[in-house]
Amino acid sequence: MQMAKTALILGGNRGLGLEFARQYAADGFDVIATSRRPAEAAELRRLGVQIEALDTSTASSIEALSKKLAGESIDVLICNAGVYGPRNDQLTDMHSEDFDLVMRTNVLGPLRLTLAFADNVAKARGVMAFLSSRMGSIGTMSSSSGIAYRASKAALNAVVKAASLELGKRGVRVVSLHPGWVRTDMGGPSATLTPTESVAGMRHVIDNASDLHGGFYDNTGASIPW
């Protein structure tokens, strides 16, 4: 009998992360999904997936989960947790704490998570997918809104590219993803896509990661300039 594949969803209690957990579980994967507050993760509990505690902005929390999962083979790692931060329309100063939170969550967290789970994903010769955003694309930028978020996702893309160069040598495929504009707490009610549509598209991209390694793609598989 073939062993089920394992998907680790980092930031899986709502929005796109929850939808990834739902779709991978429905597809027969063993799903490990994280939440900052596992006791409140009712939707994940309903799915019957393994729930683990993780705050991606805290080194000790990442280390604790890494130790707990040591030796496990992970076929798909979804680095999803992210925050938007200050919603400015144009360039504007902001509190250092607000800026730091965005950078720590969207950039430093994913860097640490890459290192923490590299062995697990290498063991499966699996895929690491990072939830970036088109707003981090310098090549297509046409607005200065949400500058902390834009800067963080551009920096995340540099982390992803660097990870692809290192981990590619160990058989790990690494991609940066833009989910589209999606109706979640972050995307808001006017967004054009449902989480179901967005995640189905991104999972298709992830399935083709061996051809897409080291690149930045939207939910339809179209390449986005860095």
Q: Decide whether 36 or 123 has the Cβ nearer to ligand NAP.
A: 36
User: Smallest distance from the beta carbon of 116 to ligand NAP, in angstroms?
Assistant: 13
Two structure tokens written together for 191: 């967004």
User: In the chain, at which residue ranges do the beta strands (DSSP E only) sit?
Assistant: 6-10, 30-35, 50-53, 76-79, 127-131, 173-178, 216-218
Report in angstroms how near the CB of residue 103 gets to ligand NAP at its nearest: 12
- For ligand NAP, the closer CB: 118 or 224: 224
For residue 61, CA distances in Å to 11, 21, 57, 74 come to 13, 21, 8, 19
Distance CA 175, CA 32 (A): 20
> Which C-beta is closer to ligand NAP: that of 35 or that of 164?
35
Sign of the four-CA dihedral 75, 70, 50, 79: negative
CA-nearest of 78, 7, 79, 14 to 43 is 14
* Shortest Å, Cβ 90 to ligand NAP: 20
The minimum distance between CB 132 and ligand NAP, in angstroms, equals 7
CB 1 → ligand NAP: shortest distance, Å? 33
Q: How far apart are CA 61 and CA 25, in angstroms?
A: 25
For residue 17, give Cα distances in angstroms to 28, 67, 71, 118, 163: 17, 22, 24, 20, 21
Q: Which two tokens stand for residue 29?
A: 């994967």
**Shortest distance in whole angstroms from residue 122 CB to ligand NAP:** 23
Nearer Cβ to ligand NAP, position 52 or 75?
52
- Residues forming contacts to ligand NAP in the complex (CB under 6 A) are 11, 13-17, 36, 54-57, 80-83, 105, 131, 133, 178-179, 181-182, 184-187, 191
Q: Report the 10 Å Cβ neighbour count for 46.
A: 9
C-beta of 61 vs 73, nearer to ligand NAP: 61
For ligand NAP, the closer CB: 38 or 214: 38
